[in-house]
Structure 1
Amino acid sequence: MEKPEGYSQQQLALDQMFKDINPALSARQAGIESSRCYYCYDAPCITACPSKINIPSFIASIHTDDLTGAAKTIYQENIMGGSCARVCPTEILCEQACVRNKEQEQSPVKIGLLQRHATDNAVFEGHPFERAAPTGKTIAVVGAGPAGLSCAHRLAMLGNEVEIFEAAAKAGGLNEYGIAKYKLTDNFAQKEVDFILGIGGITLHTDTALGQDVSLSELKQRFDAVFLAIGLQDVQSLMLLNESHPQVLNAVDYIKELRQAKDLEDLAVPLDSAVVIGAGNTAIDMACQLKRLGTEEVTLVYRRGEAQMSATEHEQQIAKNHQVRIKTWAKPEQINLDQDGVLRSMTFRKTYSEDGQLKDTEQTFDVACSAIFKAVGQKFAYPNAEQLIPTVSNGKIATFGKQITSIDSVFAGGDCTSEGQDLTVEAVQQGKLAAIAIHQQLNSVEA
């Protein structure tokens, strides 16, 4: 690889560390893998797929070397099939349901990698879908993450006009700002955004925040319907003294900085030791990326056991492969600073479970660290209470079937709602279903 002008050896080394964690299949590998599918008539993999992609059909197309046809089958149900192929936990969804698991080999068809092979190599003349005749309806979509983009695309495809209002400088949501850099490489999130917008009929407004630059009441007046896909904006607190210390960071903010950094050498990296608190995919992503950035000791700590971690076994294994130390049954108790106010360690209390309830023990232990990263979940928060008009339940927007909220003609989907497991593929599906419901309501037709 030729060294670009101005690039240091360290920067080149860091770039190599953030190459794709799951390399794509070659054409030969895809051909062999597609031949393993039984093309089940009553395919359990479809049932297990949140977006209901016809998996046997697209794999059959790959087997006949029709990659464009395979990709169109995927996009018919999931317009973000490219990113979902990279970040979707297929090991607990379609691949877990694959009938190949019941055979002696216990090896499912590699559905995720086949989906990526199709979407990466398809060749379309223009956009794969044509827009329907104009309906004369306009819809506001607030948030340009997976749910918002999916909703906007399906609405546009059905002949509606859509305007997306995104608070950040770029569209893409967590795909752009919150996914581990080694999962979505080569600016893939923005390429996918461009692909989605390519259908036409969608106007994107970035740097436009709900509650600051535009209000919900204003959108209701200007548009025939509103879809809220605003995600979760705040991070849960540990409720500990010294939590506001500059060496105690939110994992999502650091990942955002990492993904947007033009030069990874400019990142502030704890070189000796760091603690990551959490049990989900964000915690795993944070821990693994710290190891790749050069942190010598990374300890991931969770108050319950490995079986209760929301990160899948596959993700947990990725952390172990990165030599991340996982400490379970340990609850954050104290953030310890030295006499100069510098972070030196964190104290944890050992825990156990009794009748399903988490209990404390008398034992505590310290983990030395020069940085702490919180990945204990995000919460719904807006500075302006006007934005909380839709009914909120358990800290998220409540929906009442077909993604509708308590306000007429206002729909919601994605992480800001309490539906699903906060998976990208679920957000995409919720956006699609909301678009169909909105279209039917506004146009009184079958979508």
Structure 2
Amino acid sequence: MPEYKQFPLADTAEGLTEAEILGWRVKPGDEVQVNQIVVEIETAKAAVELPIPWAGVVTELLVEPGQTVEVGTPILTVDVDPHGAEAPAPAANGSAPAPRQAAEEEMKPLVGYGSKNVVAKRRPRKAATPEPAPVEAAAVEAAPAQAVNGAAAPPRGGYVPLAKPPVRKLAKELGVDLHTLSGSAEGGVITREDVRRAAQPSAPAPVTAGERERRVPIKGVRKATAQAMVTSAFTAPHVTEFLTVDVTPMMELREKLKKSPAFAGVKLTPLAFAAKAVCLAVRRTPDVNAVWDGSAGTAGEIVYKDYVHLGIAAATPRGLVVPKIRDADGMSLVELAGALDELTTTARDGKTPPEAMRGGTFTITNVGVFGVDTGTPIINPGESAILAVGAIRDMPWVVDGELAVRKVMQLSLSFDHRVIDGQQGSQFLADVGALLADPAVAITY
């Protein structure tokens, strides 16, 4: 006999409350194995692929792509005993046996995830109600519908409408009472088309020139970024300073190192030099790597970090994300270059895991990749400073009293004035500039 289990949306990151279903990797009828990827979701931090902890046959997808659901909501039904014994035959008096309840077994947490206990149950039917033709067991389960739409309405006259959760949700949105419909699908199951016909929507008005607009819901990475930036801008008193630097020696060193065997196969970018310069400059001005904690003690505390978890702001199709390079201060230039290449590739592919975007101490945003000279970046929450690295351009520059064409870059540093005084912020920015203008200065740090 089939044994149905419902797979709930797992908590893939600390504090996750909801996520959007991006796409399914399986469909009803597919066989799945333990730890097989079945769905891709988008949290407030990144896109995440979820594996399933059971083997079996998929019977129903309970949530459609594009829908946002809360953690713990059932999203998939699996028959974990598809080849089990058949149901017992009807009794001699002709009465059908009561439907078997799905196993009330606690779902074992996925590795690294926490999940709520979810039990799949069939909706009880009154004995007086004529049995409809057999349908998929998952189509008449109550738990998914209640998870999406709240508590189910009590049956009227013993009749329970047969409809999948997305159809119930559509009916609620259109104001259609499912009890008034007769399903057109096999077994009397109500479809989306049945609901839409009952709603009888009027034909849409023609679009005029003044209506050429589109609205996109604010969710996922965009929603999280907006909330974080507003909180930071109105919590930390921002100060931004600017510095223009002749980085010709750095670019010459870059070309020389690219020919070195140690850098073979390594994508050595100006951003890697900036990352190394930040890690070295932090040693002389540790305040830029500290953070204000107003909730600690009586008057708050400044927390100094003896490590650099370097955040790199990366633009992705889903919005801005800031993955971290852990313990960047302990890396060589070649190691930083490799870590940056891997980090940016993963971010642009939307594969950055949520844990890789937590716990940063300092951030670099490379606006130069877009051909922009400079900007006034907003500090990431939980940090005290952020450096914007601008485009490198050929510009006139005075060298030893003579005008020459040089490689020039602009830097801008935004910092939290509660933690970092003007002298400290200026010293740090000047140190970063000096290291980029003449990398040989690094031996003095």
Q: Same fold (TM over 0.5)?
A: no
TM tier, shorter chain?
under 0.3
From the two aligned structures, give the one with the greater strand fraction.
2
**Whose radius of gyration is greater, 1 or 2?**
2
From the two aligned structures, give the one with the greater helix fraction.
1
